[in-house]
């Protein structure tokens, strides 16, 4: 059964207006899995950093009580439930320490500490906050966005569960024919959910210049696949060669153009994605960077996003002792 969901409901899952609008435009979804697949693509590939920051700002700080007047009441209720385990028995001194670290974190990064709180203790979240405080701002932005997606997926699962319960309560059948029709519909949905339509090629990338704290534009990117009877291994080429799949360059947001065709199932194998860092930063320490990864048969329907954090130190400024 296809799920129709309004923009306000998507904003309960994720506080970004752009995300909510794109989810509405992409609806209906035949299954939770299909919706999550689309949500990940929108969140990591389509919306910009401003949308990320809007979603972050919708949350209360970890350890704080949400303000019902400032956000959706369902958002408030779910935020409280997600943090309830961690702070049910937390002492006032522990809350004070967390509040102090929240202030330090926001002062450094410009946004509040985001973590998927469900099932975590106060001590675990405080430890994660202290560890992530050491990150560079552009790295921490990616980490926070990943945590936001975890929260979004948990809330989407609850949203779909609530909607399914409402539907089941309002469509009770008494005849055998109706019961068979409903069961058959569920079976069809299960079969259709396995054939999720992609909106992006299965392999994508983007490059961030951590020395400047900005996306790296104009980096040439080359994708290859290994062709041979045996796969390459560390220190050995193996019995085969690398074959080109596609070449592109990063845009102003640091994202590359399509590196391959929009195919539903990615051919299993070993892939290599290479970045022409010397062209981006002439004289840099690493003239190019290659990342090799393997896609198995069970992963051929998945999406692989391969980011590169670039610190283009020149040899003269990065000299060992």
Instruction: Give tens-digit pLDDT for 123-152.
Output: 888 999 999 999 999 889 999 999 999 999
Instruction: Give tens-digit pLDDT for 305-321.
Output: 888 887 755 433 333 43
On the question of pLDDT at 69 being above 50, the answer is no
pLDDT at 220: 95
Residue with the bigger pLDDT between 92 and 49: it is: 49
Contact in structure between 74 and 12 (CB atoms under 8 Å): yes
pLDDT confidence tier of residue 70, bands split at 50, 70 and 90: very low
Contact in structure between 198 and 302 (CB atoms under 8 Å): no
Please compute the mean of the pLDDT values over residues 42-49 and round it to a whole number: 92
Alpha-carbon span 82 to 158, nearest angstrom: 12
pLDDT confidence tier of residue 72, bands split at 50, 70 and 90: low
**What is the pTM assigned to this prediction?**
0.55
Sort 42 into a burial class: Cβ within 10 Å, 0-12 / 13-18 / 19+: buried
Contact in structure between 275 and 221 (CB atoms under 8 Å): yes
Q: Find the length of the chain.
A: 321
pLDDT at 198: 72
Which pair of structure tokens corresponds to residue 163? 């909607």
Q: What is the pLDDT of the chain when averaged over all its residues?
A: 79
Please compute the mean of the pLDDT values over residues 48-72 and round it to a whole number: 75
Alpha-carbon span 269 to 267, nearest angstrom: 6
Closest C-alpha among 317, 238, 308, 237 to residue 273: 308
End-to-end CA distance of the chain: 65
Contact in structure between 213 and 136 (CB atoms under 8 Å): yes
Instruction: Give tens-digit pLDDT for 248-303.
Output: 999 988 888 899 988 888 999 999 999 999 988 888 888 899 999 999 999 988 88
> Mind telling me the catalytic residues?
59
* Residue 112 Cα to chain centre, angstroms: 18
Beta pairing partners, 244: 224
On the question of pLDDT at 160 being above 70, the answer is yes
pLDDT at 186: 44
On the question of pLDDT at 197 being above 70, the answer is no
Instruction: Give tens-digit pLDDT for 3-28.
Output: 567 898 899 999 999 999 999 999 88
Instruction: Give tens-digit pLDDT for 206-252.
Output: 888 877 778 889 999 999 999 877 778 776 656 678 889 999 999 98
Instruction: Give tens-digit pLDDT for 178-194.
Output: 545 544 544 444 444 44
In this structure, how many other beta carbons lie within 10 angstroms of the beta carbon of residue 275?
24
């Amino acid at each position: 059964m296809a799920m129709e969901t309004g923009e306000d409901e998507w904003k309960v899952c994720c506080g970004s207006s752009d995300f909510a609008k794109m989810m509405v435009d992409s609806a209906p979804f035949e299954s939770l899995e299909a919706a999550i697949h689309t949500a990940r693509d929108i969140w990591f590939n389509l919306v910009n950093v401003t949308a990320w920051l809007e979603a972050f700002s919708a949350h209360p700080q970890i350890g704080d009580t949400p303000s019902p007047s400032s956000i959706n009441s369902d958002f408030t209720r779910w935020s409280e439930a997600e943090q309830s385990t961690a702070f049910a028995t937390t002492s006032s001194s522990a809350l004070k320490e967390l509040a102090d670290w929240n202030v330090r974190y926001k002062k450094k990064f410009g946004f509040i500490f985001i973590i998927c709180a469900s099932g975590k203790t106060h001590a675990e979240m405080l430890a994660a906050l202290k560890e992530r405080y050491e990150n560079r701002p552009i790295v921490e932005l990616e980490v926070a966005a990943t945590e936001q997606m975890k929260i979004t997926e948990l809330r989407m699962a609850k949203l779909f569960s609530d909607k399914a319960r409402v539907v089941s309560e309002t469509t009770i059948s008494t005849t055998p024919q109706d019961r068979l029709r409903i069961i058959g519909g569920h079976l069809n949905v299960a079969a259709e959910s396995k054939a999720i339509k992609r909106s992006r090629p299965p392999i994508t990338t983007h490059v961030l210049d951590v020395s400047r704290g900005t996306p790296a534009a104009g980096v040439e990117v080359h994708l290859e696949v290994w062709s041979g009877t045996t796969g390459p291994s560390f220190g050995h080429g193996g019995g085969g060669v690398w074959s080109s799949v596609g070449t592109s360059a990063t845009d102003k947001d640091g994202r590359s153009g399509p590196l391959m065709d929009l195919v539903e199932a990615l051919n299993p194998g070993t892939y290599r994605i290479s970045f022409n860092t010397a062209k981006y930063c002439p004289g840099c320490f690493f003239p190019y960077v290659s990342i090799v990864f393997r896609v198995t048969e069970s992963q051929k329907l998945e999406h692989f996003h391969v980011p590169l954090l670039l610190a283009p130190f020149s040899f003269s400024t990065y000299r060992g002792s």
